[in-house]
């Protein structure tokens, strides 16, 4: 995992170098003279050679000194940590809604293959996955926030917002994510369940007159959900770091938008910190999914 | 009015007004420019039989209290009055810090931290008398030293301020001094009749900061303004509370202000519709159409000098021949552009830099769409089969839609245009690569300015630092400098007409429209106007 992150950090530095624009120009604006911009770049150390800058940054980063944002003049660590926490909260809520919903309906669809429920879930799931987040988000906002006023229109988290207030603000941004993920997870659950129903051990369990519920929860679900768990693990990275559109639309202070703004503004300390933490979370969630799969599936633990 | 030159000048203005050579609006502007208070000017106007003007005063019985919630864009960097340039940062700083002078929408001047001013030496020396009894929000008194330090900081080469470019050729370092307490003198590089504008809100970095200010404004916000910054969350919101010891007694009416930062226009519009904010700082027709017909929402408007420069490089083929440039200008149906991009809320531009909002703006016969003439001009210039060109533009506001309209309108004349859209940061570029100054044909956004010079000199004069068309006409440039030094109104008009004629003939850039500044507010909001430069003045705002 560490080597992957190191290579990623180098890649980010090089890519930011290639991107047009520079931090001096972003801070001073279009009406500053090239001389003024160059002077600011010099004072921010942005004109030093790439390997030197990278080395300095790396040294600071690994010793816990994540530096100062070049654009925002504030410490990187609290900024990124705060945004990351917000994104994690949103991701948790989205997962908390979509997993029971999708796994429940998907498994049901798999158990009752070719029934109305099966067709309904597959069709609806497929259709919803195709709807982009800004479309579903806008519709939800216009419907629930503007017309019905059930939920707030913006999801900024001000200090002093209690847990209930936070939940209130998170529901609408979470729903577009549920919409996008539902189809994918439901179809994986359906396929997994349908596959297990074809196996011999399932037939044996049924023929053994095992109670239906025991069959379902002891034999079907654990095996059916293996691919679904892997899929969920792979989506966590996107849920935490990839929600630029949702964050912009709902004005939610997450880490996705922080990454895009720091990339555009060439704010390297913030860009590196946010990308590496999100990448770290992505890797950890995949690892966690693998562990869970291994816990459920002894064959993974003891390959023979 | 003890200053003899001032009363002479006031008499001169009165004469011009009575003779009909000076309009009422321009009378007020010139009077305030020369340091008469707006109430004295209004009195003079009434005495000359010109009728009252009704300058705003603190309304008695105005409803007090409430916290105004404003939607703005997001600041691009840390808050810093000296280097700020985006509208959200400017709006945030302007609640806390003030200028010597504020420019009204009709381009007249309102004294703020400067009470009066006068020029001598043919307009090359300016002396400002400062307001007494004003304190910064940290309790330190406001003195002339603060003004001197503020302006020396702005024109210092190390400041990084855009004000440096605004004041280039007008004020150099080491020329601001305080000859006596409460007075500041500016010694200019050349006579500049409109200098008070350069130390006003229109030079938006020129907020007066204490002499002891060393930087990091965001951490220790300071100013003399109506609100104090009580908390600031990067990228999310700024919260202000009423300055209880503000020098304008009885003001502000509001108890507090909250500026909410938004990433997109869409989320601002939704916030207005959902009642999460009481007003938007800036509203553009494109993207905010739902608000224009929504009940409970009022759209305030003000004419402004906000425009888009559609330039053609006079040193790049095929635009080296002015007939080709004129042909491009003649293909456009400006009324249609105005309706489709702004719902009609714009003023037609005539390919010269004198926005209609400037009082000396000449009215030449408007250039109308004429495809026949465009084709014959192209033919005469040696392009009987038309031309193929690339139009580079930034993805800002309505500019992409404008480019598409240009493309469609130019086609029948044989001008085939290929569009190259870039993000704003790429289009501005940096260092040796700044597309907006190099592409043969481009569209760029310009902020509103209070004075024609500020529009013309950087963009259209020889050696102008932001002259993307690379046009250099000696006569035009000399006239521009002459305009800056000329006081007499009718002479100024004559010069402006000459300049407009030259520029329109050469057409280094197509200027098809001047955008009206719009501001959407809810019905509960009072005491707020739209602002030609987009500035947010909540001193007299009320919330019912």
Closest-CA distance of chain A to residue B164, Å: 8
Q: Is B426 within 8 Å of A30 when comparing Cβ atoms?
A: no
Q: Is A248 within 8 Å of B76 when comparing Cβ atoms?
A: no
State which residue of chain A sits closest to B430, comparing Cα positions: A21
Distance CA B197, CA A157 (A): 41
Contacts of B273 in chain A (CB under 8 A): 142, 146, 153
- What number of CA atoms fall less than 13 Å from residue B358's CA on the CB side? 28
Angle between helices A255-264 and A76-111 (to 10 degrees): 130
Average pLDDT of the residues in B55-84: 82
Q: Which of B157, B218, B262 sits opposite A251 (nearest CB)?
A: B262
**Close Cβ partners of A213 (under 8 Å, ≥ 6 residues apart):** none
Average pLDDT of the residues in B451-463: 91
Positive or negative CA dihedral for B200, B205, B208, B211? negative
Residue B58 in this model has a pLDDT that exceeds 60: no
Most B CBs within 10 Å, among A34, A36, A260, to test the B interface? A36
Q: How does strand B227-233 pair with strand B237-242?
A: antiparallel
- The listed range with the strongest mean pLDDT (A107-116, B82-91, B418-427) is B82-91
Closest-CA distance of chain A to residue B445, Å: 11
pLDDT in tens, A21-53: 788 888 888 788 888 888 898 888 877 888 888
State which residue of chain B sits closest to A43, comparing Cα positions: B158
**Close Cβ partners of B478 (under 8 Å, ≥ 6 residues apart):** none
Mean pLDDT of chain A: 88
Say what percent of chain B tops pLDDT 90.
74
- The listed range with the strongest mean pLDDT (A215-219, B111-115, B261-265) is B111-115
Q: Is A26 within 8 Å of B77 when comparing Cβ atoms?
A: yes
Q: Is A29 within 8 Å of B233 when comparing Cβ atoms?
A: no
Q: Is A21 within 8 Å of B233 when comparing Cβ atoms?
A: no
Residue B53 in this model has a pLDDT that exceeds 70: no
Nearest to B44 by CA among B3, B12, B19: B12
Q: Which of B76, B85, B431 sits opposite A34 (nearest CB)?
A: B431
SS3 labels along B231-281: EEECCCEEEEEECCCCCCCCCCCCCEEEEEECCCHHHHHHHHHCCCCCEEC
pLDDT in tens, B266-279: 899 999 999 999 99
User: What's the pLDDT score for residue B61?
Assistant: 58
Contacts of A32 in chain B (CB under 8 A): 83, 160-162, 164-165
Between CA B365 and CA B372, with CA B367 as vertex, the angle to 5 degrees is 130
- Each as own residue / partner, the long-range contacts of residues B124-127 (CB below 8 Å, 24 or more positions apart, any chain) are B124/B187, B124/B188, B124/B190, B124/B191, B124/B192, B125/B185, B125/B186, B125/B187, B125/B188, B126/B185, B126/B186, B126/B188, B126/B195, B126/B196, B127/B179, B127/B183, B127/B184, B127/B185, B127/B186
Closest-CA distance of chain B to residue A241, Å: 17
Closest-CA distance of chain B to residue A140, Å: 11
Residue B389 in this model has a pLDDT that exceeds 90: yes
Band of residue B49 on the pLDDT scale cut at 50, 70, 90: low
Closest-CA distance of chain B to residue A282, Å: 25
Supply the DSSP symbol for B83. T
Distance CA A64, CA A66 (A): 6
Q: Which of A21, A73, A248 sits opposite B429 (nearest CB)?
A: A21
Q: Is A32 within 8 Å of B161 when comparing Cβ atoms?
A: yes
Distance CA A72, CA B76 (A): 8
User: What's the pLDDT score for residue A17?
Assistant: 80
- Each as own residue / partner, the long-range contacts of residues A55-63 (CB below 8 Å, 24 or more positions apart, any chain) are A57/A13, A57/A268, A57/A269, A57/A272, A58/A9, A61/A9, A61/A272, A61/A273, A61/A276
Strand partners, B347: B514
Closest-CA distance of chain A to residue B490, Å: 33
Q: Is A25 within 8 Å of B429 when comparing Cβ atoms?
A: yes
Confirm if B284 and B344 have CB atoms less than 8 A apart.
Answer: no
Distance CA A115, CA B218 (A): 62
pLDDT in tens, B338-386: 999 999 999 999 999 999 999 999 999 999 999 999 999 999 999 999 9
Q: Is B430 within 8 Å of A37 when comparing Cβ atoms?
A: yes
pLDDT in tens, B188-205: 999 999 999 999 999 999
Higher model confidence: residue B439 or residue A216?
Answer: B439
Distance CA A46, CA A43 (A): 8
Q: Which of B76, B233, B263 sits opposite A257 (nearest CB)?
A: B263
State which residue of chain B sits closest to A22, comparing Cα positions: B430
User: What's the pLDDT score for residue B46?
Assistant: 65
Per DSSP, helices labelled H in B156-213 are 163-166, 195-198
Distance CA A239, CA A172 (A): 15
Distance CA B529, CA B90 (A): 17
Q: Which of B78, B158, B273 sits opposite A72 (nearest CB)?
A: B78
Contacts of A30 in chain B (CB under 8 A): 85, 428
State which residue of chain A sits closest to B166, comparing Cα positions: A31
Contacts of B431 in chain A (CB under 8 A): 22, 34, 37-38
Q: Is A156 within 8 Å of B236 when comparing Cβ atoms?
A: yes
Residue B521 in this model has a pLDDT that exceeds 90: yes
Closest-CA distance of chain A to residue B342, Å: 23
Residue B6 in this model has a pLDDT that exceeds 60: no
ipTM of the complex: 0.88
Average pLDDT of the residues in B162-167: 88
**Close Cβ partners of A207 (under 8 Å, ≥ 6 residues apart):** none
Q: Is B162 within 8 Å of A265 when comparing Cβ atoms?
A: no
Q: Is B157 within 8 Å of A36 when comparing Cβ atoms?
A: yes
Higher model confidence: residue A219 or residue B175?
Answer: B175
Distance CA B113, CA B246 (A): 12
Residue A110 in this model has a pLDDT that exceeds 50: yes
Please give the distance of CA A200 from its chain centroid, rounded to a whole number: 38
Q: Is A79 within 8 Å of B273 when comparing Cβ atoms?
A: no
Distance CA B205, CA B99 (A): 9
Between CA B142 and CA B152, with CA B147 as vertex, the angle to 5 degrees is 150
Supply the DSSP symbol for A218. I
Q: Is B430 within 8 Å of A34 when comparing Cβ atoms?
A: yes
Helix or strand or coil: residue B1?
Answer: coil
User: What's the pLDDT score for residue B54?
Assistant: 37
Q: Which of A74, A146, A250 sits opposite B234 (nearest CB)?
A: A74
Q: Is A28 within 8 Å of B86 when comparing Cβ atoms?
A: no
Which string of DSSP letters, residue by residue, matches A175-204?
HHHHHHHHHHHHHHHHHHHHHHHTSHHHHH
Q: Which of A27, A146, A156 sits opposite B270 (nearest CB)?
A: A146
Closest-CA distance of chain B to residue A166, Å: 15
Strand partners, B351: none
Q: Which of A21, A31, A146 sits opposite B430 (nearest CB)?
A: A21
Contacts of A154 in chain B (CB under 8 A): 260, 262, 267, 270-271, 274, 276
Nearest to B536 by CA among B116, B237, B227: B227
Strand partners, B521: B279, B298
Q: What is the count of residue pairs from A and B with beta carbons less than 8 Å apart?
A: 138
Average pLDDT of the residues in A259-282: 91
Positive or negative CA dihedral for B376, B381, B385, B386? negative
Distance CA B286, CA B290 (A): 10
CB atoms within 10 A of CB B495: 19
CB atoms within 10 A of CB B32: 24
Band of residue B9 on the pLDDT scale cut at 50, 70, 90: low
B484, B102, B236, B154: CA torsion to nearest 10:
50
Mean pLDDT of chain B: 90
Closest-CA distance of chain B to residue A22, Å: 7
Angle between helices A163-197 and A226-241 (to 10 degrees): 150
Q: Is B157 within 8 Å of A25 when comparing Cβ atoms?
A: no
Q: Is A26 within 8 Å of B160 when comparing Cβ atoms?
A: no
The H-or-E segment that residue A134 falls in is helix A133-140
Helix or strand or coil: residue B309?
Answer: strand
State which residue of chain A sits closest to B264, comparing Cα positions: A248
Q: Is A29 within 8 Å of B76 when comparing Cβ atoms?
A: yes
State which residue of chain B sits closest to A137, comparing Cα positions: B267
Residue A304 in this model has a pLDDT that exceeds 70: no
Pick the CATH number of B303-515 from 3.30.160.270, 3.40.50.300, 3.10.105.10, 3.90.580.10: 3.10.105.10
Helix or strand or coil: residue A25?
Answer: helix
State which residue of chain B sits closest to A148, comparing Cα positions: B274
Residue that is written with structure tokens 């034999």 in the block: A219
Contacts of A36 in chain B (CB under 8 A): 157, 159-161, 164
Distance CA B98, CA B106 (A): 20
């Amino acid at each position: 995992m560490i080597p992957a992150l190191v290579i990623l950090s180098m890649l980010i530095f090089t890519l930011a170098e290639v991107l047009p624009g520079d931090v001096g120009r972003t801070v001073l604006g279009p009406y500053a003279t090239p001389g003024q911009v160059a002077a600011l770049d010099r004072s921010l150390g942005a004109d030093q050679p790439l390997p030197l800058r990278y080395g300095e940054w790396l040294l600071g980063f690994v010793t816990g000194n994540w530096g100062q944002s070049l654009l925002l003049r504030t410490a990187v660590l609290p900024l990124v940590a705060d945004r990351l926490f917000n994104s994690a909260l949103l991701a948790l809520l989205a997962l908390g809604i979509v997993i029971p919903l999708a796994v429940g309906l998907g498994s049901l669809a798999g158990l009752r293959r070719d029934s109305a429920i099966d067709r309904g879930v597959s069709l609806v799931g497929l259709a919803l996955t195709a709807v982009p987040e800004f479309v579903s988000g806008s519709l939800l906002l216009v419907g629930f926030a503007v017309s019905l006023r059930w939920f707030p229109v913006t999801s900024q988290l001000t200090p002093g917002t209690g847990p209930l207030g936070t939940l209130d603000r998170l529901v609408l941004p979470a729903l577009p994510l549920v919409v996008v993920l539902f189809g994918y997870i439901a179809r994986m659950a359906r396929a997994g369940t349908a596959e297990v129903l074809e196996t011999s051990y399932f037939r044996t369990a049924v023929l053994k007159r095992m109670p239906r519920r025991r069959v379902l929860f002891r034999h079907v679900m654990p095996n059916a959900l293996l691919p679904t768990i892997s899929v969920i693990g792979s989506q966590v990275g996107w849920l935490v770091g990839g929600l630029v559109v949702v964050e912009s639309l709902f004005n939610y202070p997450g880490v996705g938008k922080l990454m895009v703004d720091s990339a555009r503004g060439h704010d390297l300390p913030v860009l590196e910190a946010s990308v590496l933490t999100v990448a770290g979370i992505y890797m950890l969630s995949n690892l966690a999914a693998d562990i869970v799969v291994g816990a459920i599936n002894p064959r993974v633990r003891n390959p023979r | 009015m003890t200053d003899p030159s001032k009363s002479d000048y006031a008499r001169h203005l009165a004469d011009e007004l009575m003779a009909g050579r000076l309009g009422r609006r321009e009378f007020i502007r010139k009077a305030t420019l020369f340091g008469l208070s707006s109430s004295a000017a209004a009195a003079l106007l009434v005495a000359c039989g010109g009728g009252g003007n009704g300058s705003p005063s603190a309304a008695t019985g105005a409803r007090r209290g409430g916290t105004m919630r404003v939607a703005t864009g997001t600041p691009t960097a840390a808050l810093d009055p000296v280097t700020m340039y985006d509208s959200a940062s400017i709006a945030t700083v302007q609640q806390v810090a003030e200028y010597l002078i504020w420019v009204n929408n009709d381009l007249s001047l309102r004294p703020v931290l400067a009470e009066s001013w006068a020029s001598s030496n043919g307009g090359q020396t300016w002396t400002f008398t400062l307001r007494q009894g004003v304190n910064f929000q940290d309790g330190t008194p406001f003195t002339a030293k603060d003004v001197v330090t503020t302006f020396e900081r702005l024109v210092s080469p190390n400041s990084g301020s855009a004000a440096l470019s605004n004041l280039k050729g007008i004020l150099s370092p080491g020329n601001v001094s305080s000859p006596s307490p409460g007075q500041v003198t500016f010694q200019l590089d050349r006579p500049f009749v409109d200098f008070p504008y350069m130390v006003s809100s229109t030079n938006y970095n020129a907020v007066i900061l204490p002499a002891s200010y060393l930087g990091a404004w965001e951490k220790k916000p300071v100013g003399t303004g109506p609100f104090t910054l009580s908390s600031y969350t990067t990228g999310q919101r700024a919260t202000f509370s009423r300055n209880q010891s503000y020098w304008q007694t009885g003001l502000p009416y509001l108890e507090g202000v909250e500026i909410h930062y938004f990433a997109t226009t869409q989320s601002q519009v939704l916030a207005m519709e959902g009642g999460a904010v009481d007003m938007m700082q800036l509203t553009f027709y494109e993207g905010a159409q739902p608000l224009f017909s929504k009940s409970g929402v009022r759209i305030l408007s003000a004419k402004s000098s906000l425009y888009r420069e559609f330039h053609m490089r006079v040193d790049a083929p095929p635009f080296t021949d002015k007939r080709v440039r004129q042909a491009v200008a003649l293909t456009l149906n400006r009324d249609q552009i105005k309706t489709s991009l702004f719902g009609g809320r714009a003023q037609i531009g005539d390919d010269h830099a004198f926005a209609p909002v400037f009082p000396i703006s000449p009215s030449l016969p408007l250039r109308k769409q004429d495809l026949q003439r465009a084709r014959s001009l192209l033919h005469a210039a040696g392009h009987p089969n038309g031309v193929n060109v690339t139009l580079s533009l930034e993805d800002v506001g309505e500019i992409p839609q404008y480019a598409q309209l240009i493309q469609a309108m130019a086609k029948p004349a044989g001008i085939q245009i290929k569009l190259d859209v870039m993000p704003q940061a790429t289009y501005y570029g940096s260092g040796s690569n700044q597309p907006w100054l190099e592409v043969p044909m481009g569209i760029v956004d310009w902020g509103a300015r209070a004075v024609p010079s500020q529009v013309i000199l950087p963009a259209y004069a020889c050696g102008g630092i932001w002259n993307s068309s690379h046009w250099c006409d000696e006569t035009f440039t000399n006239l521009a400098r002459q305009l800056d030094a000329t006081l007499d109104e009718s002479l100024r008009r004559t010069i402006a007409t000459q300049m407009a004629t030259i520029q329109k003939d050469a057409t280094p850039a197509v200027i098809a429209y001047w955008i009206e500044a719009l501001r959407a507010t809810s019905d509960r909001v009072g005491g707020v106007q739209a602002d030609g430069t987009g500035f947010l003045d909540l001193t007299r705002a009320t919330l019912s």
